[in-house]
Amino acid sequence: MKSLRVLVLEDHDFQRSFAVNMLRQLGCQEVFEAVDGAQALSVLDKVGKVDIALCDLCMDGMDGLEFLQRIGHSALVHSVIISSSLSADLRRTVQQIVSLLGLKMLGDVGKPMKAPALNNLLKEHLCGSGVVSPACAPVELANEDEVRGALRKQQLKAWYQPKVNLSTGEVEGVEVLTRWQHPASGILSPAVFMPVLEHCGLLDELLFAQLDTSLRLQQQARSDGFVLNLAFNLHVTQLINSDLTSIVKRILKLHSAAGSSLTFELTESGLLESSVTSLETMVRLRMMGCQLSIDDFGAGFSSLQRLCQLPFNEIKLDGEFIRTLKHEPRCRAAISSTLALGKSLGMSVVIEGIENKEEHDLLLGLGCTLGQGYFYARPMTGEELLRWLPARAGSGNKAEM
């Protein structure tokens, strides 16, 4: 293993010595130590920057939390490993603080430390992984004229990610996403162009084009024996367009499609204040038979209030709850509570971000019905979807499961 410079912050003499010896046995030749944050800062002044700080949190004198705040954004420490006997919920919050401070969070080895867990994190550092700080470089947005041209030339394509019944494996619908099929740069992420479309007031034009394309695809899938609900992301600013519902109704009529075959997903963070027009739009969409889904549920601060006040009939639980499902009882409790809430309110619940069979099985055990994520399928083009559906059905509706 390439030699790493590691600083150990631990006020307990035996545990500090144990950590230092373990790091040396794992191949770290330069290991420095400190009994508290103040001494750690002094060590850094003398030896310069280190690759990793292995940090306890509760210490006499300057504790680990204050030390992390002092060295955040300083470039004196590249990555952090937490070693603490604090409860899991507190350690999880500290991990968020570390990332917000501009440091890379490698992981949490707990106490007592185990050599295999620590060795894995050291290898992750050498491979450049770990939890990336949100202080990374922002996405470079596309030129406004280019985006307008892409929309005009129909380069902004609809892609589809299936929603799956966890019990049966059957595909019950798809979320309609957007990818830019750039003639020179290939497939571009929505992060590059969606903010530009919003700024230019072009989200409705994109939505109506996607509706037309996706309803044609829905008809093709139905002729092959597959009934798909289409879910579209709707920005809160689009709700103030008083013509939105009449245009949606016209497009549905053009394709002889029912409103019940559509779902509109709205992110709760944009719904803090609702105008009369936006509320009327939501009601009219429901009157047409469309489903309204509150997207990224649990990621904002007004979820329950929004559920009580606005006419949603689906909850889409934020994928972050899945990340620590296996290890965090609180996440399991939050998912179970959301499922119970949905049932009591007569609302369906969709779980986002399912990436492996273990997560699938855990969620199925909690009573989840609908899920979406890479475990089932990644977003794909319409042509790929029409090939994927019968292939999945031919394998017993449980492809990749």
Active-site residue numbers?
A: 352
**292 vs 260: CA distance, rounded Å:** 10
Per the document, the length of the chain is: 401
**Phi, psi (degrees; rounded to nearest 5) at 181:** -85, 85
Do 229 and 291 meet the contact criterion of CB atoms below 8 Å apart?
yes
Task: State which amino acid sits at residue 240.
Answer: I
Do 244 and 272 meet the contact criterion of CB atoms below 8 Å apart?
no
Distance of CA 102 to the CA centre of its chain: 20
- Compute the Cα dihedral for 365, 367, 372, 376 and give only its sign: positive
DSSP string, 289-325: T-EEEEEEETSSS-HHHHHHHS---EEEE-THHHHTT
How many helices (H) and strands (E) the chain has is answered by: 15, 15
Do 44 and 50 meet the contact criterion of CB atoms below 8 Å apart?
yes
